[in-house]
Amino acid sequence: MIESGGKKIRLGVNIDHVATIRNARGTEYPSPIIAAKMAVDAGADGITAHLREDRRHIRDSDIRILKDSLSVSLNLEIAATEEMAAMVIKTKPNSVCLVPERRQELTTEGGLDVLKGFNYLKNFIRPIKKCGTKVSLFVEADELQIRAASDLGADIVEFHVGKYCELLEAEKIDLAQIEFERYVNMAKCAGDLGLEVHLGHGLTYRSAKNLSKIKEVREMNIGHFLIGEAIYYGMNKVIKKMKTAINN
């Protein structure tokens, strides 16, 4: 957990990009399952994976194995399609996070339009909630979207904080601060409505640390940056291991 001023924030580790590397060669390694277990051993409070329609990284079998073997909660990111609803009802992850999805996008590019899809989403989440899975909606930090999420009966809103992270990375501090303040106000709004607040997308050590100051935040879901860092921190060890393998 990330600790900030006595408040504990859960860290959900997204393992999608371990599967991206595996799938690039069609091998069995690196295994997202092993990576998830290592993350849990290191202190991850939950594991997140996005089962995309095109299965570009995580596969159905990964989800089934994760659900059966993890000692922490599994958060499954999905688009609100019938195929994914069936998958959720079959595997019963601890939570689902509904995200917008377009085949051509590199990653999830924005929040879900809860207002536009209100009636469809209301019917979509009913059987999911019935099977005991919590429902999170990945939204822009926008009051109308948050209120719609609450009216829908969602348990959680996860704010898409990609814009803040990008602005910070580009050292556009004043603009980043405007985003930060928007998140502060919208987290309060969500908290007042009884929604749990999570953050995700593009988080790094610096952005996560800054955003951990927002009182209502209970969880951050982080993937791409962490897998990148794991490569850097593991490089020294694996090169030495390979040199030993080829010379001894």
Residue from the set 142, 158, 196, 216 that interacts with ligand PXP by CB under 6 A: 158
Active-site hit among 50, 57, 160, 198:
50
Q: Does 203 bind ligand PXP (CB under 6 A)?
A: yes
Set 101, 198, 201, 216: catalytic member: 201
Closest CB 200 distance from ligand PXP, rounded Å = 3
Q: What would the DSSP string read from start to end of the chain?
A: -EEETTEEEEEEEE-HHHHHHHHHHT-S-S-HHHHHHHHHHTT-SEEEEE--TT-SS--HHHHHHHHHH-SSEEEEEE-S-HHHHHHHHHH--SEEEE----TT-SS--S---TTTTHHHHHHHHHHHHHTT-EEEEEE-S-HHHHHHHHHHT-SEEEEE-HHHHHHHHTT-HHHHHHHHHHHHHHHHHHHHTT-EEEEESS--HHHHHHHTTSTTEEEEEE-HHHHHHHHHHHHHHHHHHHHHHHH-
Q: Which of 10, 11, 13, 14 binds ligand PXP (CB under 6 A)?
A: 14
Interaction between residue 222 and ligand PXP (CB under 6 A)? yes
- Least Å distance, CB 229 to ligand PXP, is 11
> End-to-end alpha-carbon separation of the chain, Å?
41
Does the annotation count 101 as an active-site position?
no
Q: Is 200 an interacting residue with respect to ligand PXP (CB under 6 A)?
A: yes
Instruction: For residue 17, indicate whether it is catalytic.
Output: no
Does 50 participate in binding ligand PXP (rule CB under 6 A)? yes
Residues 56-115 that bind ligand PXP (CB under 6 A): 77, 97, 99, 107-108
Q: How far is the CB of 164 from ligand PXP (least distance, A)?
A: 12
- Select from 35, 62, 112, 138 the one that contacts ligand PXP (CB under 6 A): 138
160 is catalytic: no
Residue 202 makes contact with ligand PXP by CB under 6 A: yes
Q: Name the closest residue to ligand PXP (Cβ).
A: 200
Catalytic site residues?
Answer: 50, 77, 201
